[in-house]
C-alpha cells in the first residue's frame, strides 16, 4: 500500500480529508478471502470480497485518525456501510478519498464518521464506504455534521424463516485476519492493549464478521458468487471474543434483493440492524 497523498490543510476538523493511491495485487485479493473463508472450511473462488474496499481504505482511514488523535490506539468501530459499484480486480489502481463528515462528543470521547469514495485510475466509481468509530479519550473539537444512519432501512417479512450459519473465530483466525487486512489495532492481538481499552481480552475485528457474513450470504443466497453482494450496512453492538460461537441469520424483506441480517454470540447480538443487498444482475466491468 502506498503512503497518503496528502492531508487536508483546513484548521478545523470539518472537511479534514486524505487521498491515497493503491495498486492491487492478485495475491492480496486471494489471501484476504482465504483467511475469511477459513472459518467456512471451503476455499474461495475467484473475485474480491465486497469488504476489500474497506481493506484498501486503511491508509486513508488511519491517516485521518492519526491526524485527529496522534498516537491514539483506543478506537472502537461502531458502524459500517458500503456500496460496491464494481468488484475490485487484480491490476487495479484504486484511489481513495476519505473525509471526516461528522463528530459528536460523548462522555467516553468522540463519535466520528468518515466517508470514503473509491475510484479506479480512469475515475470510474468502485466502492463507497461510511464508517463510524468511537475515539476513546478524544475531547477536542466542536460537534458538526449529521449522525450516520443508526438502523436498518428495511424490515424482515413477518414469519419468514431465517437462513442461519454458525462459525467460531479463534485467536489464530484474528491474528491471520490482522495480517491479511492490514488492520493492526492492538486491541485485536494484544491482551494488554485490549484491557487498556476496556475489554476482557483481544477481540475480533468487526469487519471480519461482516466479511464472513458476505461469504455466507454469497454461498446461501447469491448463487455462490461473491460479486452478488452489492451493498450492506450494520452496527457493531458487542465485541466478539475468540472461541465463542457466532450465529449469522438472514431474513428476506419485501424488497426481492435485500435481506436483514444479524450476528449473535452466547452473550447477545454482536451485529444489529444489519442489511444486505444481493443481486445476480450482471456487474459492470471496467
In whole angstroms, what is the distance from residue 74 CA to residue 79 CA?
16
In whole angstroms, what is the distance from residue 183 CA to residue 43 CA?
22
Q: What is the pLDDT of residues 41-53, one digit of tens each?
A: 887 777 999 999 9
Place of cell 444482475: 281
From the centroid of its chain, how far is CA 24? Answer: 18
Q: What is the pLDDT of residues 219-257, one digit of tens each?
A: 999 878 999 999 999 999 999 999 999 999 999 999 989
Phi, psi angle pair for 259, to nearest 5° = -125, 150
CB 57 within 8 A of CB 44: no
In whole angstroms, what is the distance from residue 114 CA to residue 132 CA?
6
CB 189 within 8 A of CB 172: no
Q: What is the pLDDT of residues 140-155, one digit of tens each?
A: 667 888 766 666 678 8
The pLDDT value given to residue 137: 81
Residue 10 pLDDT exceeds 50: no
In whole angstroms, what is the distance from residue 166 CA to residue 26 CA?
29
User: Picking from 1-5, 44-48, 194-198, which range would have the lowest pLDDT averaged per residue?
Assistant: 1-5
Q: DSSP assignment, residue 144? A: B
Q: Which residue has the higher pLDDT, 71 or 50?
A: 50
CB 157 within 8 A of CB 254: yes
Q: What is the pLDDT of residues 180-189, one digit of tens each?
A: 999 888 999 9
The pLDDT value given to residue 278: 94
The pLDDT value given to residue 67: 82
Q: Which residue has the higher pLDDT, 50 or 106?
A: 50
Q: What is the CA radius of gyration of the chain?
A: 18
Q: If pLDDT is split at 50, 70 and 90, which confidence band does 69 have?
A: confident
| Average pLDDT of the chain to the nearest whole number | 87
Q: Taking CA 163 as the corner, what is the angle to CA 157 and CA 169, rounded to the nearest 5 degrees?
A: 130
- Per-state percent for the chain, helix, strand, coil, to nearest 5: 25, 35, 40
CB 106 within 8 A of CB 143: no
H/E stretch holding 101 reads strand 93-106
CB 163 within 8 A of CB 131: no
CB 115 within 8 A of CB 101: yes
Phi, psi angle pair for 94, to nearest 5° = -100, 125
CB 156 within 8 A of CB 249: no
The pLDDT value given to residue 73: 58
DSSP string, 156-174: BPTTPPPEEEEE---HHHH
Amino acid at each position: 500500500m502506498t503512503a497518503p497523498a496528502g492531508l487536508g490543510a483546513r484548521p478545523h476538523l470539518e472537511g479534514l480529508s486524505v487521498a491515497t493511491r493503491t495498486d492491487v495485487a492478485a495475491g492480496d485479493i486471494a489471501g484476504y478471502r482465504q483467511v475469511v473463508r477459513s472459518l467456512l472450511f471451503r476455499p474461495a473462488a475467484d473475485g474480491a470480497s465486497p469488504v476489500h474496499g474497506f481493506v484498501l481504505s486503511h491508509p486513508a482511514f488511519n491517516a485521518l485518525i492519526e491526524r485527529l488523535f496522534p498516537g491514539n490506539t483506543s478506537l472502537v468501530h461502531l458502524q459500517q456501510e458500503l456500496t460496491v459499484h464494481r468488484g475490485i480486480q487484480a491490476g487495479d489502481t484504486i484511489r481513495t478519498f476519505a473525509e471526516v463528515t461528522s463528530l459528536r462528543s460523548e462522555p467516553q470521547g468522540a463519535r466520528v464518521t468518515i466517508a470514503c469514495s473509491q475510484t479506479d485510475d480512469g475515475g470510474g466509481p468502485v466502492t463507497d464506504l461510511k464508517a463510524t468509530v468511537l475515539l476513546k479519550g478524544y475531547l477536542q473539537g466542536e460537534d458538526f455534521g449529521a449522525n450516520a444512519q443508526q438502523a436498518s432501512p428495511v424490515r424482515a417479512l413477518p414469519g419468514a424463516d431465517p437462513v442461519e450459519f454458525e462459525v467460531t473465530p479463534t485467536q489464530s483466525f484474528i491474528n491471520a485476519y490482522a495480517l491479511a487486512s492490514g488492520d493492526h489495532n492492538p486491541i485485536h492481538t494484544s491482551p494488554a492493549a485490549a484491557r487498556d481499552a476496556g475489554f476482557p481480552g483481544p477481540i475480533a475485528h468487526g469487519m471480519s464478521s461482516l466479511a464472513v457474513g458476505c461469504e455466507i450470504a454469497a454461498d446461501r443466497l447469491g448463487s455462490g458468487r461473491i460479486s452478488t453482494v452489492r451493498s450492506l450496512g450494520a452496527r457493531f453492538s458487542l465485541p466478539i471474543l475468540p472461541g465463542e460461537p457466532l450465529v449469522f441469520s438472514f431474513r428476506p424483506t419485501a424488497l426481492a434483493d435485500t435481506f436483514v441480517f444479524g450476528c449473535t454470540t452466547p452473550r447477545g447480538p454482536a451485529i444489529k440492524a444489519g442489511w444486505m443487498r444481493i443481486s445476480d444482475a450482471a456487474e459492470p466491468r471496467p
